[in-house]
Amino acid sequence: MTATHRSARRAPWSAAAVLALAGAAHATDPLDCAVSVTLFVPGPASDGFAEEALGVPQGLGDTQGSFDTATLGLGGTLVLELGHPLLDGPGTDLLVCENPFLVGSTGLAFVEACFVEVSSDGVHFARFPVRYAGPAGPLSPFTGAGLAWYGGLAGVHPVRSSTASGISALDVVRAGGDAFDLADLAGHALVQSGDLQLGQVRFVRLVDIDAGQAFDDFGTAIWDSGIDSISSADIDAVVAVNSHGNQGGGRPQVELSLDAAGFLTLSVLDYDGFKDVKQGLVASIDGTEIPFAALLPFFVLTGFGPDGITLVTGPVPAGAFPLELRVGATDASGLHAGDALLLP
């Protein structure tokens, strides 16, 4: 969505400004977000405001797209450097916040998708695995697109985290945005060669998708709500959910995994004791928050101890959904953990 109104152009963030904001009331440390633009190759209809992608998210919720964004332009590319390097930790590692919004009460969204790539050195970039499961052919922007049609792409889930909402961008369930796990790149050639270090990711590259002209990993053309040359992804922020700056002791852990046989495993761990986090468990399905207890009838408890639990269900029928499941935990001191998984 190309914005028709712009906020004042934001200057590149100085170290002093970043550190000052880190002590502000908002729970998201700006150093866990982008602090500089290292490359911007705008496409047609870009607004040129690359610096709008710096700092914490400024999402406006489910029904509005933020104007505090960098419009890539058709096929445009933006490379951002994080303040704290990203690392492959428990659960979701990276959130990319674009500005999609839900279309009416349909549960579908106005989606302007983009590829997401990461790098340790700013030279070698690995793209997250991509799957498109929506219909072939142009999509009407007035009817919207299914959130779970897009795997490994940004620009899909509305963003709720902002300084105004007070929702931390580390709250994977409530923050919105699109979730990425560096573990999905473990087998990538760049990781195997050592050119990409998953424990030291400093750069995120975002590449706008021209609807019908880009393809997923299975050769399927990707279609989003962009219908002409003035439609492109609008980047609000990128957030290192797991960074070198936020791995302090006592932070809980949440992980979701689906094995080759289709069994879904959910584990929750808190070394301060499970009691520290059990009142702060929450989940969502395709962005709609549900009580954590609503999941329990579908799972079997396979592990329980003073520090956490393990739940298993399945086998999950391939192709039965698709849907995105997110599970989050907030401990008594306000520390967040969470994970997201796109079910087949």
Q: Rounded distance, CA 147 to CA 91, Å?
A: 20
Q: Does residue 55 belong to any structural domain of this protein?
A: yes
Q: Read off the CATH number of the domain in which 332 is found.
A: 2.60.40.10
Got the DSSP string for 206-268?
A: EEE--TTTSB-TTSPBP--S--STT---EE-EEEESSBTTS--TT--EEEEEE-TT--EEEEE
Positions of the chain with pLDDT under 50:
1-26
Q: Are residues 96 and 210 in the same domain?
A: yes
Q: What pLDDT sits at residue 104?
A: 86
Q: Are residues 40 and 111 in the same domain?
A: yes
H/E segment holding residue 190 = helix 189-193
Q: What pLDDT sits at residue 28?
A: 83
With beta carbons less than 8 A apart as the criterion, state whether 128 and 96 touch.
no
CA torsion through residues 36, 38, 65, 181, sign: negative
With beta carbons less than 8 A apart as the criterion, state whether 177 and 59 touch.
yes
CB atoms within 10 A of CB 169: 30
Q: What pLDDT sits at residue 26?
A: 35
Q: What pLDDT sits at residue 288?
A: 94
Q: Does residue 2 belong to any structural domain of this protein?
A: no
Report cis status (omega within 30 of 0) of the bond before 12. no
- Count up the domains in the chain and report the number: 2
Q: Are residues 280 and 204 in the same domain?
A: no
Place of tokens 């700013």: 122
Q: Rounded distance, CA 167 to CA 84, Å?
A: 20
Q: Are residues 104 and 178 in the same domain?
A: yes
Q: Are residues 268 and 234 in the same domain?
A: no
Got the DSSP string for 8-46?
A: PPPPPPPHHHHHHHHTSSSSS-GGGBEEEEEEEE--TT-
CA torsion through residues 193, 194, 197, 199, sign: positive
Q: Rounded distance, CA 125 to CA 117, Å?
A: 6
Q: Does residue 4 belong to any structural domain of this protein?
A: no
With beta carbons less than 8 A apart as the criterion, state whether 268 and 283 touch.
no
> What Å distances lie between residue 78 and 39, 203, 219, CA to CA?
6, 10, 24
Q: Rounded distance, CA 280 to CA 262, Å?
A: 28
Q: Are residues 159 and 271 in the same domain?
A: no
Q: Does residue 76 belong to any structural domain of this protein?
A: yes
Q: Are residues 229 and 283 in the same domain?
A: no
Q: Which domain holds residue 293?
A: 253-343
Q: Are residues 168 and 308 in the same domain?
A: no
Q: Are residues 169 and 55 in the same domain?
A: yes
Q: What per-residue string of b and e applies to 177-212 under the rule 16 or more CB within 10 Å gives b?
A: bbbbbbeebeebebbeeebbbbeebbbbbbbbbbbe
Q: What pLDDT sits at residue 9?
A: 36
Q: Which of 205, 240, 275 is the last residue of a domain?
A: 240
Q: Are residues 148 and 285 in the same domain?
A: no
Q: Which of 240, 271, 297 is the last residue of a domain?
A: 240
Q: Are residues 156 and 287 in the same domain?
A: no
Q: Does residue 271 belong to any structural domain of this protein?
A: yes
> What Å distances lie between residue 238 and 22, 81, 152, 178, 187, CA to CA?
16, 9, 15, 10, 23
Q: Rounded distance, CA 214 to CA 237, Å?
A: 23
Q: Does residue 129 belong to any structural domain of this protein?
A: yes
Angle at 338 between CA 342 and CA 321, to 5 degrees: 20
Q: Which of 240, 275, 299 is the last residue of a domain?
A: 240
Q: Are residues 257 and 222 in the same domain?
A: no
